[in-house]
């Protein structure tokens, strides 16, 4: 039986449906979540999840790794790993690397989440894409030199650890600023 590790099976609220579909096809669904299992419907937990580790601080890599290692020790190797939230993508990649699970590595995931890196991937593959220009995050209150308006949104103040992509859409719209 294939072991499938699912991160955060109760969030978003429809994430459990993925687990239900896996279990209905004979997959052993293991899960790590930050919600107590006792607060969930017994039919979902007993019939769908083979095992669940409650980890209230899933954002801590060491704790997430320990929870996954606990499941591997009890049930054997993990064949697949996923979640239903973009928030967990990089953690999924790190766990795949650590446990030798098929799928996107941490490096590949980081590259696919970065607008600047994706622009390079598209260019290497010969795929048309909006022009992306690396830049720096401007401090709050900067003034647009073209229209004179001041920004009102909070912006990260990190220059070296945060990169920015300014993308001009092909329809001539205003540039989009995206941080990685």
Q: What is the pLDDT of residue 136?
A: 64
Q: What is the pLDDT along the chain (180 residues), one digit of tens a residue?
A: 899 999 999 998 888 999 999 999 999 999 999 999 888 877 667 889 999 999 999 999 999 999 999 999 999 999 999 999 888 999 999 999 999 999 999 999 988 888 888 888 889 999 998 887 776 665 666 666 667 776 665 444 443 334 444 443 334 444 444 555
Q: Tokens for 53, please give them.
A: 């580790």
- Given the DSSP bridges, would you call strands 131-135 and 28-33 parallel, antiparallel or unpaired? unpaired
Structural domains present in the chain: 3-110 (3.40.50.20), 130-179 (no CATH)
> Do 33 and 7 form a contact (C-beta atoms < 8 A)?
yes
Q: What is the pLDDT of residue 141?
A: 63
Q: What is the pLDDT of residue 91?
A: 96
For 132, residues 6+ apart whose C-beta sits below 8 A from its C-beta are 115, 116, 119, 165, 166, 167
| CA–CA distance, 110 with 132 (Å, rounded to integer) | 17
Q: Tokens for 147, please give them.
A: 């229209």
> Do 166 and 133 form a contact (C-beta atoms < 8 A)?
yes
Q: What is the pLDDT of residue 165?
A: 44
| CA–CA distance, 114 with 4 (Å, rounded to integer) | 27
Q: What is the pLDDT of residue 7?
A: 97
Q: What is the pLDDT of residue 19?
A: 94
Q: Is 37 exposed, middle or buried (0-12, 13-18, 19+ CB in 10 A)?
A: middle
Whether pTM exceeds 0.75: no
Q: What is the pLDDT of residue 158?
A: 41
Q: Is the peptide bond before 86 cis (omega within 30 degrees of 0)?
A: no
Note the helical H segments in the chain.
Answer: 16-24, 42-48, 61-75, 89-99, 106-113, 115-125
């Amino acid at each position: 039986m294939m072991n499938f590790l699912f991160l955060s099976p109760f969030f978003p609220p429809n994430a459990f449906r993925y687990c239900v579909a896996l279990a209905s096809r004979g997959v052993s669904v293991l899960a790590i979540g930050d919600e107590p299992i006792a607060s969930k419907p017994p039919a979902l937990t007993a019939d769908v999840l083979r095992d669940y580790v409650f980890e209230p601080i899933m954002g801590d890599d060491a704790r997430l790794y320990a929870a996954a290692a606990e499941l591997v020790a009890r049930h054997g190797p993990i064949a697949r790993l996923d979640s239903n939230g973009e928030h967990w993508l990089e953690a999924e990649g790190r766990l795949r690397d650590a446990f030798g699970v098929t799928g996107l590595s941490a490096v590949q995931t980081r590259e696919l989440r970065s607008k600047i890196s994706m622009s390079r991937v598209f260019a290497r593959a010969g795929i048309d894409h909006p022009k992306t220009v690396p830049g720096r995050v401007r401090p709050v209150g900067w003034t647009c030199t073209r229209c004179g308006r001041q920004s009102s949104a909070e912006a990260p103040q990190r220059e070296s650890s945060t990169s920015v992509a300014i993308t001009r859409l092909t329809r001539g719209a205003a540039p989009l600023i995206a941080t990685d």
